[in-house]
Structure 1
């Protein structure tokens, strides 16, 4: 005794086709987005598979992670560099002016 369900209504078939098309469009968009992201990461010199870790390491080693030095520390460093002859009088004066105006 086999039951006959008859023909599917055309509204159901239309809805099914719409859902299938939507799924295909979403999958294509995901693939395109992943390909573009991979290209951007490679062009930036990052490994696409390890990008979050590489970015975290770069941030940890960058200037944002460096501790903030006090005005006294910056001036002492300038004085030390000048005393050792690493920087000239003009560079020493310019550095002191810059350090004092940053406050």
Structure 2
């Protein structure tokens, strides 16, 4: 029992050191992520709300569009030069393959 009691201060220091290291790693990670978000032009404090709003306003959560709607969107993207002719052909082939 006395051996266990003599190890208690050492175990206490080891556990405290592990907790301190984890705390420092978490703080460094949060600061690094906030810097990266800020450098990309976003507010790190509102990022989650911004992403949720963008997702809700997008078509990502809407019902599946028809093949005609998807092909029409590809035609509009090609006409506006947003995608190259090769990208258009590849995307068109994927849409038709899913049909």
The residue that corresponds to 2:35 in the other structure is 39
Are 1:14 and 2:10 matched, yes or no? yes
**What residue is the counterpart of 1:84 in the other structure?**
none
Map 1:66-85 → 2, pairs under 5 A: 67-72=63-68
* Distance in 1 (alpha carbons) for counterparts of 2:53 and 2:59: 12
Q: How far is 1:72 from its partner?
A: 4.8
Name which one, 1 or 2, has greater alpha-carbon Rg: 1
Structure 2 length-normalised TM: 0.56
TM-score (norm 1): 0.54
**CA, structure 1 residues 10+61, in 2 after alignment: closer, same or farther (shift >3 Å)?**
same
Give the root-mean-square deviation of aligned CA atoms.
3.3
Q: Can you give the 5+ residue segments of structure 1 that lack an aligned partner in the other structure?
A: 1-8, 82-86, 88-93
Which consecutive residues of structure 2, in runs of 5 or more, have no partner in the other structure?
80-87
